Amino acid sequence: MIKEMTKVQIVGPKTHRDRCIEILHELSIMQIETVLEEKEGFLKKVPVEKEKLEEKKRLEKIREALTELLSVLPTPSSVAPPLRLKKQHIYEEFERLAPLMERAKALYREQEELKEELEMVSRYEHLLRGFVPLVTALGGLKNIEITGLVVDRTVPDVLKLLEEELKRLTKGAYEFHSKVIDEDTIAVVITYQKKYSPQIRHIILGEGIDEIRLPQDYREMPLFEALKEMLKKKMVLPERIEYIKRELETISQTHRHLLEGLKRAVEDAIDEIEVLYYFAESRFLFIIEGWVPADRVDHLERELKGEFKEDVLVQVLEPAAEELDRVPVYIENPPYIRPFEIFLRALPPPKYGSVDPTPYVALFFPTFFGLIVGDVGYGLVVLGAGQFIKRRWKEREFIKNAGVVLSLCGVSAIVFGILFGEFFGTLPEKLGFHPLFERMEGLKLFMLFTLGIGIVHTTLGFTIGGLNLIKRGRTKKALEKFTSLILTLVIILMVAAAYNYIPEGLLTPLVVVFIAGVALLLWLEGVVGPLELVRSVGGILSYVRIMAVGTSSVVMAVVADRMAGMSASILTGILVASLIHLLNIFMTFISPVIQSMRLQYVEFMGRFYEGGGRLYRPFSRR
């Protein structure tokens, strides 16, 4: 439900300002808003004190250092919750942790450098191994230049052109050796007198050929020595990298809860400085304004009075008309309903003073899901999946709540499965159990039942919307809603009278009511009214999808059972039935969810939900 909010003003001497901020931060119940300067007259906006800004800069540097460190530390599989630290201990703890932080950063830098070196060594080692056979006989010559090249195999003509140019420049005094290293690369070694080096390098650059240049650490080494050193590094580096990884994991496991707690304390301290921008002050007083849940105002007054006696006052303000659309929305539901708040995530927050649909969704969504699935076996699978999700991702609230919703849907499917006598299809019936209601045999009755659900669901949506509009003083809009509702019900009764489901004599008065209602609707809404009426009737008819989708699921389950019975081999029958049931279970996780969501969002919530609200975000510790 959407809780009632109250606008409050806190006034007190500036000497109590910082302590008042700390108390508000701890209470976490007030959403602080900017105080308008012109409203308060003698109060005005003043710059935040210089010492506060200096402290904020120091805290931001600490936060930056902690954020950087936490980003490089591996996340352990299990770690204690962040340690709760007081603001006055921030600098002391940061100083104490400084050596550890420096060591962790140094280890991480070394790890990254070693990884880069290992990658480089692996890359060059591959090339050098291809060059070794080509330079074996030339490695000891000092009066000649040895150049290694890499040529793309897609341009083999370059080799022919290069060799022709070498022959021309050196008058035949050169050696040219090539070898295929892999499917993309040809290794080339050329030797020539050093005096031709400038001209030959110019040719190489002009042809777009890559010359092998050893890394800086290996550039002065002979080729064989470089290769030997690289092979040695390739064996040693992974051990060192693994050692550093273990050291970082140990640091994270031992100190992460303290580092995260310190970071939160720093962020809280920064928040307490930044909130000053919302205040107004005089020479001696400060003033704070904001929104508090109505049932927590007394608690706020008691806490401030207990700390400051009568020095700090809490006043309830009457919000201005232009502020009503800006009242923050605080949604609070009982624990068993709260998981269904995930359905609001797909919508803009509801407006303050409107209706929170969560309790209604908590009732109808699992009901519709259960009606569609209606199978004990499938319900057990859905329940198991929901419990797995809930436990596996218990730290991630949204996913955990989705698991709770899925579990309740599984329970609903089991309940209706007992009613329909279905367990992976019609197996119970074959074993002699008779259902209370057989869906396949009672399609007409099932269809009428789903239409009845649609009437109840849609009527509830219209009623909620109309009553809420009356409560907010929008009588004309409420009359439009109730007129549309009455006309929708009249149309349904007219159809029922035409098919003798109710006495035929009621048809004439119903037609009279219908004509009068349409005239009223045209007066209230114009031509849009009758069009919306058609949409409303179509919306009720769309509830038949509960029957249609549910029946298709039953048909697939029955097909699986029959194909199992028709198979020559028991093993083959079980395999075929299992595959069809698996497909049907997969569809159970998709189609019933989509259909149930559509009925909630479009046919129900569309009758009363008003978006455009602003979520309540109290000034609270992290």
What is the identity of the amino acid at 118? L
Closest alpha carbon to 136 in 82, 191, 92, 84: 191
Residue 140's pLDDT band (boundaries 50, 70, 90)? very low
Domain CATH number, residue 26:
3.30.70.240
Per-residue pLDDT at 366: 95
Is residue 89, in this structure, part of any structural domain at all?
no
Residue 33 covered by a domain? yes
Is pLDDT of 298 > 90? yes
Which runs of consecutive H residues, i.e. helices, occur in 86-194? 90-135, 157-170
* Confidence at 616, pLDDT banded by 50, 70, 90: very high
Average pLDDT over residues 113-136: 66
Phi-psi region of 172 (alpha: psi -120 to 50; beta: other; left: phi over 0): left
Residue 117 within a domain: no
In 3-state terms, what secondary structure has residue 61?
helix
Residue 20 lies inside a defined structural domain of this protein: yes
Q: Higher pLDDT residue, 552 or 214? A: 552
Task: Supply the pTM of this predicted model.
Answer: 0.71
Q: Report whether 557 contacts 581 (CB < 8 A).
A: yes
Q: Residue 39 pLDDT > 60, yes or no?
A: no
Are 317 and 8 within 8 A, CB to CB?
A: yes
Nearest to 287 by CA among 317, 261, 260: 317
- CA–CA distance, 434 with 416 (Å, rounded to integer): 14
Band (306; pLDDT cuts 50, 70, 90):
very high
The predicted pLDDT at position 138 comes to: 45
In the numeric block, the tokens 């008691």 are attached to 302
Question: How far is residue 501 from each of residues 444, 485, 496, 498, 506, measured CA to CA in Å?
Answer: 13, 21, 5, 8, 11
The predicted model gives 51-69 an average pLDDT of: 93
The structure tokens listed for 152 are 């793309």
Instruction: Check: CB of residue 445 under 8 Å from CB of residue 438.
Output: no
Compute CA distances 542 → 43, 338, 450, whole Å. Answer: 59, 28, 9
Most confidently modeled of 176-180, 302-306, 424-428, 551-555? 302-306
Confidence bin at 385 (pLDDT 50/70/90) = very high
Is residue 597 a part of any domain in this protein? no
Q: Is residue 315 part of a domain?
A: yes
* Residue 322 within a domain: yes
Mean pLDDT value across the chain: 82
Please tell me the distance from the alpha carbon of residue 268 to that of residue 22, in angstroms, as a whole number: 10
- Full domain range(s) for residue 2: 1-44+282-330
Predicted confidence band at 308 (pLDDT cuts at 50, 70, 90)? very high
Angle between helices 528-541 and 507-525 (to 10 degrees): 130
CA angle 387–391–395, rounded 5-degree value = 140
Residue 451 lies in a domain: no
| Tens digit of each residue's pLDDT (9 = 90 or more) over 171-182 | 777 777 777 766
Count of domains forming the chain = 1
- Give backbone dihedrals phi and psi of 191, rounded to 5 degrees, phi first: -125, 145
**140 half-sphere exposure, CB direction, 13 A CA radius:** 1
Distance, in Å, from the CA atom of 459 to the CA atom of 453, rounded to the nearest integer, reads 10
pLDDT top residue among 586 and 339: 339
Residue 30 and residue 291 in contact, taking contact as beta carbons nearer than 8 Å: yes
User: Is-contact 425 557, C-beta < 8 A?
Assistant: yes
Q: How confident is the model at residue 200 (pLDDT cuts 50, 70, 90)?
A: confident
Cβ-based neighbour number of residue 396 at 10 Å: 12
pLDDT at 222 over 70: no
- Name the pLDDT band for 320 (thresholds 50, 70, 90): confident
Q: Are 524 and 479 in contact (CB under 8 A)?
A: yes
CA distance 323 to 313: 23
CA-nearest of 254, 256, 264 to 89 is: 264
How confident is the model at residue 220, as a pLDDT?
A: 62
pLDDT beyond 50 at 603 = yes
Tens digits of per-residue pLDDT, 422-459? Answer: 888 776 666 667 777 887 777 888 888 998 999 999 99
> Looking at residues 517-536, what average pLDDT do you find?
78
